[in-house]
Amino acid sequence: MSDARDPRSPIGAEDEGVVAASAAVMGAEPVLLSTGARSQWLDVWDQFKTHKGALIGAAIFLAIVAVVALGPLVWDPELGIKSNIRARNEGMSLAHPFGTDQLGRDIFARMMAGGRVSLAVGLTAMFLSVVIGTLIGVLAGYFRALDGALMRFTDLFLALPLLPLLLVMVLLFREPLTAVFGVETGIFLLIVSAIGITSWMQTARIVRGEVLALKEREFVLAARSIGTPSRRVITRHVLPNVLSPIMVSATLGIATAIITESALSFLGLGFPPDFPTWGRLLNDGVPYLEQYPERVFWPGIAISLVVLSINYVGDGLRDALDPRIRGR
């Protein structure tokens, strides 16, 4: 299994026939946008609220994001950079809530710095993959002429062995990009785009399926019959209606991206050693596992908790956005 990937939405089996079949089922109830976009979102929220796991997950995720983003305001980030030889390998204390590492750097500060990178990678890579996926999905679904070519292109990407390619890509473009943008930005861009480019295919397929079905619906036909230009139809009528599958795959995309980044760091191909990310911190902590188990636990738990909470949120969103389940 490619451990770093999460082939959770295995729609790979679908060919044209399949997508059409399932899409017909999915579109059973029309989502009437014009009458109440707001009330629709209220409905979604009501449904989401009833999913306890999702609610707790969202709370935990937001809490972690808050600590990581706002933490530096109250906790000096310099502590995680500056070494302090006299205070190395310390246990948990008030001065260092998570202890210190082998150079006396504060692990709490490093965890926050690492979290910022890991989360930023997750969010940006997800954004990139969703944008590419949606673009290709909408174009393929809406314009018949483009469909064949774009879907073959998607199939091509699906056929690429992704984790090995990701490894090769990282190895490859690491030096040129670092040379242009500096170590931090360079590798950040590299990892984000590598993950983004290799993970958009599922979104594209799902979106295409939805668009294919939507295109034949009365309100879209109506809009087109009064001469609305395609661009308008897409932005006003199609996109809002495919938002729900996009949102679900976006949440799951964050989780996948975070795991992929830490896997790369774990294999020694992600960010360099002096640059903390959760995967990197975990990797660095492994040799000390028996002496200072907390060095592995903190990043390990942070990654797992974030991914777990995002998965629950995704689950809740899927239920809430699916009109068939709503109100059950």
**Which residue's entry shows tokens 């997950």?**
57
**Minimum distance of another protein from residue 274's CB (angstroms):** 4
- Find the binder of another protein among 70, 156, 180, 222 (CB under 8 A): 156
Could you tell me the CA-to-CA distances from 183 to 155, 180, 193, 218 in Å, in that order? 34, 9, 15, 53
Give the footprint of another protein on residues 222-281 (CB under 8 A): 255, 259, 262-263, 266-267, 272-274, 279
DSSP bridge pairs for 106? 100
- Find the binder of another protein among 79, 282, 317, 320 (CB under 8 A): 282
Helix (H, G, I), strand (E, B) or coil at 154: helix
Region from 11-19, 32-40, 72-80, 120-128 binding another protein, contact rule CB under 8 A: 11-19
Q: Do 125 and 195 touch, CB atoms closer than 8 A?
A: yes
Residue 164 binds another protein, judged by CB under 8 A: yes
Nearer to another protein among residue 181 and residue 266 (C-beta): 266
Residue 307 binds another protein, judged by CB under 8 A: yes
**Minimum distance of another protein from residue 208's CB (angstroms):** 16
Give the footprint of another protein on residues 108-147 (CB under 8 A): none
Residue 59 binds another protein, judged by CB under 8 A: no
Residue 63 binds another protein, judged by CB under 8 A: no
- Find the binder of another protein among 40, 154, 199, 311 (CB under 8 A): 311
Q: Do 188 and 275 touch, CB atoms closer than 8 A?
A: no
To the nearest 10 degrees (0 to 180), the angle between helices 107-142 and 144-159 is: 140
Give the footprint of another protein on residues 166-195 (CB under 8 A): 167-169, 171-176, 179, 183
Closest CA to 285 of 270, 267, 298, 303: 298
CA distance 229 to 212: 18
CA dihedral of residues 72, 76, 77, 83 (deg, nearest 10): -170
Give the footprint of another protein on residues 17-56 (CB under 8 A): 17-18, 21, 53
